[in-house]
Amino acid sequence: MIDLQDSPAPELPAAEAPPDPRGDDEARKSAKIMLVNREELGIEMLKAFLEQVGYRNLVSTCDPGEALDLLLDERPDVLLVDLALPEVSGLEILARMQGDRRLRSIPVIMLTEAGDAAAKLEALERGATDFLAKPVDSGELAARLRNALVFKACQDRLAYSDALTGLPNRERFLERLDWTLRFSRRYGTLGAVLHIGLDRFKQVNEALGPGGGDRLLWAVSQRLRESLRETDALACAPEEGQPPMLSRMGGDEFTVLLSVLDDSADAVRVAQRILAVFEAPFEVGGHELFVTCCIGIALFPADGTARDAVLKAAWLAMQQAKREGRDSYRFFSKDLGARSHQRLSLETELRKAVERQELEVFYQPKVDLAASRLVGAEALVRWRHSQRGMVSPADFIPLAEETGLIVPLGHWVLASACRQMAAWLAAGRRVPRISVNVSSQQFRQRGFPDHVRAALSGARLAPPYLCLEITESAIMENAQAFIETLDELKAGGVALSIDDFGTGYSSLSYLKRFPIDELKIDRSFINGVEHDNDNAAIVTAIIAMAHSLGLQVVAEGVENPQELGFLRDLGCEVCQGFLYSRPLPAANFGELLIPGGLPVMNPAPGATA
């Protein structure tokens, strides 16, 4: 494991300068110029001159009433408009453009009578960029048009580019998506939005520090650019030569707009190519980092015809890909939308569950294998919903982790378990130790040991009665930093356990340095261990390693006598699972306890092979 916090990081390369149309024939050819004039002859004369000096992308209208609709459809780089128009004046067009965020950034050159100073002043106040006196001088028109394009390029760079990566930003992406959706509705084309989210970027960012995280995002953006290089003819937009649009939406999330597809397989090919660029490690600060991503795909019009609907569909699909496993892509489905509404409702109700006293701590016995006596309990939160009944932890714990509610929820469980343990002891009912799970978010919080001390002192419970269980993967997110927290907790007198052992990637060197008391073997290795040779080998190795380090071993998920016998033969000290008892409410668990000693635990009725 590499400690990345103090790693030197290379300088980010400077962002590319915006194109300068003053000496760029290609820029003149691609720049879109819109003309609005009351006379067809005037438009034809302007077009002839512009084509002569290299402008090829020209749109025009003699009807000022359709000018705004044409502006929205075409989004020109510069608008040349006659001030004196019938029905809708040039000043009125300016005013309406300033009132529409999609149009207000377009430079406007007004064609005016030479001596009309008052009209020029009013046009400037309404947002005009420049003026041309009629009759138009061709040399002056060329100069003012070049200046307007330079101004537009610089303005777009500031307003529509992400400062870190140089990619189009969220605002630019939304404008382009609006235009593409209108085109799709009009012409019946198929398109897609791909929402890309990096896996575990928060943890990587914490290890690298903000500067290192920015360098990683820049490197990711360069690989994404390469995967969607401009020579790619796939999914071109209706405008000839327009490639798929890549943008940074913020944080560690990017989007790709595929404007025209033959079918959904085109979107799959793009997603697969994006995933492929993450296969090689990234170099940041002299270290190699393996980073993956998840991609959500929304198709339009199938998944929506409005911007918000399409964006939400792509985001939901990306979240589903993250839940199902990293380094993958998923299409949006109507079922995802329904589940999203259910999750939103569940999140709202979970926030109120503590106030309504719907949350409850259950306790599962931990049993000494040699003596078959109860030697502890694990505190497990349960939600007894007033209308839904018992809500499965598999439904609300991941939701709590996603929303950050896991931190206050975890503090509440810790305090509740300490109070209950103190109450049992005060009643003369002996329980050697109570175990409480700690989420990675809780553990990362500054001052977490203070929360533990507050829970113990609030319950008047001595620290040795408490064991904190932290998953192997949580500790290894930043093992070096977490050792300090573990040392502080251990110095305070509480016991420490690594939960779900075998599912992470801890090393022997770290295990020797961790001030822990026990290892809990993950239930996935216990299931069928008596006849699964691979699981048997893993469990045997874990128990031997733990004993060599002087650690107690707990096996979780023990469900039949054969598993129990196998573990007992290997010298595993403690087990828990349905073989002895499901998690019980505090009152029912209290009935197991006897004054003055430890109860004998027999397998539950029906717990046979």
pLDDT digit string (tens) for 242-272?
578 999 999 999 999 999 888 888 899 999 9
Mean pLDDT, residues 370-394: 89
Q: How many CB atoms are located within 10 Å of the residue 5 CB? A: 13
> How many Cα neighbours within 13 Å face the side chain of 454?
8
User: Which CA distances in Å does 67 have to 36, 148, 179, 278?
Assistant: 7, 20, 16, 46
How far apart CA 170 and CA 315 sit, in angstroms, is: 14
Find the helix or strand (DSSP H, E) in which 78 lies: strand 78-82
pLDDT digit string (tens) for 524-567?
899 888 888 988 999 999 999 999 999 999 999 999 999 999 99
Domains defined along the chain, listed by start:
21-160 (3.40.50.2300), 170-332 (3.30.70.270), 349-592 (3.20.20.450)
**What 3-state DSSP class applies to 567?**
helix
**What 3-state DSSP class applies to 433?**
coil
202 contacts 477 by C-beta, under 8 angstroms: no
Beta strands in 342-494 (DSSP E): 359-368, 373-385, 389-391, 434-438, 466-471
Choice between 222 and 120, residue whose per-residue pLDDT is larger: 222
- Amino acid at residue number 266: D
pLDDT digit string (tens) for 416-460?
999 999 999 999 888 899 999 999 889 888 889 999 999 999 999
pLDDT digit string (tens) for 49-91?
888 888 888 999 888 888 888 988 888 999 988 887 777 788 8
Instruction: State pTM to two decimals.
Output: 0.55
pLDDT digit string (tens) for 571-598?
999 999 999 899 999 999 998 887 765 6
The pLDDT value given to residue 246: 95
The pLDDT value given to residue 589: 93
The pLDDT value given to residue 15: 35
Per-residue pLDDT for 509 more than 90?
Answer: no
Q: Is 85 exposed, middle or buried (0-12, 13-18, 19+ CB in 10 A)?
A: buried
DSSP secondary structure letter of residue 244: P
The pLDDT value given to residue 570: 92
pLDDT digit string (tens) for 309-362?
999 999 999 988 888 877 889 998 877 666 666 667 777 888 888 778 889 999
How far apart CA 555 and CA 441 sit, in angstroms, is: 25
The pLDDT value given to residue 126: 79
Per-residue pLDDT for 46 more than 80?
Answer: yes
Per-residue pLDDT for 232 more than 50?
Answer: no
